[in-house]
Structure 1
Amino acid sequence: MPFVKIDLFEGRSEEQKIELAREVTEVVSRVAKAPKEAIHVFINDMPEGTYYPHGEMKKKN
């Protein structure tokens, strides 16, 4: 049962997240030979100020 976690800065519309989840599900199903019903996509909206690569805060562009 594949689980896919996607972290994005917040700001995507519900429609964008639905499309992303559907497309990811299609690819995982095709490549991993997993039934779509077994694939779970988690999209985490990260507020600005919660991502610190190399110890520096990353801001949205």
Structure 2
Amino acid sequence: MLIIPLKEGENIERALKRYKRKFDKTGTRKSLYGRKQFTKPSIEKRAQIQKAQYVQRLKDQESI
């Protein structure tokens, strides 16, 4: 369970935004969606390769 301490006089929207950011960083949602439906290991590997290629392209464009 995530605990977000409220600071003195902090806006509730700001605290909610911190909670959402922290929740995304933990990867909980991603793991839940991953368990929802089975994906073959070959498809997972292909997705990882495509993501790595995309990131590499971004880094190459940035260096130019």
Q: TM-score range by the shorter chain?
A: 0.3 to 0.5
Q: Which has the higher contact order (CA 8 A, sep 6+)?
A: 1
TM normalised by structure 2 equals 0.37
User: More helix per residue: 1 or 2?
Assistant: 2
Higher strand share: 1
Q: Greater CA radius of gyration, 1 or 2?
A: 2
